[in-house]
Chains A and B, each alone.
Chain A
Amino acid sequence: MTVSAPISSDSTADSHAATDLDAIPEPFDYNPSSWSQRIPICVIAMVGFLIATYMGLFQWKLIDSAWDPVFGGQTEAVLTSDVSHWMHKWFLIPDATFGAIAYLGDAIFGLAGSTRRWQYRPWLVVIFGIDVIPLGIVSAVLVAMQGLVVGSWCFLCLVTAVISLVLVVMAYDEVWACLKYLKRVWDETHDRKLLWDVFWGRRTAEGEAIGARFATPATT
């Protein structure tokens, strides 16, 4: 989008930053909401989705065996263990299918939003963060525990656990910038209503001004 002349001359830099979708938020020297940051997250999440779907198909008994080049039959032991049956009862769907939906969510929430969504749609970045970070860590811990509790190891489960942790590392920067911006709004105003509006991405004069100071214009 081209930027037309700002109304007040002293806010030239501010208004430019406010409309510059590639602006760089604190504390980084790159834009964590840029496509080059987000697309790889979506691609890796989709790999997790495909692997989890494959295991879900086995748990749904739509395929007869589960591939495992390292632990042999142990994968099928894990995927049909008591633990997985309990989780099936809680989730109503196989745990691998539940995981597949969570990875798909990582990709969906990673794709949605502009390259300045850390300011324009904080709610979306927060949902994305919840899906990737706490859910990812819990699922990785659960996979490790499944190996210890069930006594069998599942190669593809371990692959998805690694994917979860890689996604956490790749996604934290955007969530961090977004939360830092929200905290800045709160610290500068202590205005609950404003924080609420900013969280939902509504355009307010105060939020816009704070966002403009929070970001530096893109260098390229």
Chain B
Amino acid sequence: MLETLSQRLGAVVKNLRGQGRLTEANVQDALREVRVALLEADVALPVVRDFIARVRERALGQDVLQSLTPGQMLIGIVHKELTALMGEQAAPLSFAAQPPVVYLMAGLQGAGKTTTCGKLVRVIRERGKKKVLMVSCDVYRPAAIEQLKTVAAQAEADFFPSDPTQRPAAIALAALDHARRHHYDVLLVDTAGRLHVDEAMMQEIQELHRALDPVETLFVVDAMQGQDAVNTARAFNEALPLTGVVLTKLDGDARGGAALSVRQITGRPIKLVGVGEKLSGIEVFHPERMASRILGMGDVLSLIEEAQKGVDQAEALKVAKKLKAGKGFDLEDFKAQIQQMKKMGGLSTLMDKLPGAGAVQAGDLAAGEKQMRRVEGIINAMTPEERRHPALLKASRKRRIAAGSGVTVQEVNRLLAQFEQAQKMMKTLAKGGMGKMMGRLKGILPGMP
């Protein structure tokens, strides 16, 4: 996610390692590098200045004398300050109001408001709020309402129809009335993208806010946004009582300095981050973990959480039962596992969260995902009987499977070896749980570099 920043700070610290202690001069050099790194990561200049000043102050204080190595010390300070900059803890969505609880989305054009609406449904459901209604107040962009309707259908939420000839405030009030009378838990109000300098449009959303009195007014920000993030965030924050920020398209970028800027300027917590195009591609924002990730520590915790969420509970239970009943983990289960990996967003999403993921080349990942599809194909070419009893697979059956799935017999053999490893892992899992599995994940998943 923020590898480039991690790499840069890593390089800075490496340069420091050879030196005995931090001096005014070498801190100066290191901080200049940090400054360039943050600027190239699109952190806004005033935020960068503030950050550098704070780190310098700490680095030249007495803390340094107690440190083991200057590099460790500097990493510690940078990490602490980054965490502080992004807000100390994760901030959950609020439902503190008489239902229907209203959420209002705001942001620039193309920030990802409509997609985020779809993703929010999942988060809301996880919090036990079942009945969700969506409405679009975007009467400007062609087919915007149609888009939200499709998204609502995908997310299995209800959709309140609106029409481009209506006034946005009228649409909002009608939807609120409908939500009240039909006892909805949550009403999600999507709005048109707008420029913060467009006064008429900013007035319109203020009017919407007055009419709806939302519990959450979420500012949706593209994580790739540049220096201007400061200006838009400030303007939206002044026009609306924002309650939180959603950072989108975080999977696409190596940097993402906008996260730092927006948090600093608005003072509002970043509540959620959008990753990928699937409806499940939304995560809680963890400032502390984000800071760790910036420093190259990976984000193992967030990965585990994601794994637990993405894994179909029923499917997992079935496997667990089977293991308990003394029946082995078979190729059906192996296939199901691969499919669950896909559900979690594929290898690239997972690898992004593992420590040292910077070392894995994008090309390797693509090859890995291809390999996963291949493995699925091979398993599909087996009979149900063979999948349940892999011991049946001898030379002639292997030849048939290889021909049926368009691979070589060697590849079938390789798959079977991987399967055996996975079988062992499932035994570990039955005993030791997720933590151990994560440790071994890299060696066992098919096609993983």
Do A and B come together as binding partners?
A: no
Question: Residues of A at under 8 Å CB distance from B?
Answer: none
Question: Residues of B at under 8 Å CB distance from A?
Answer: none
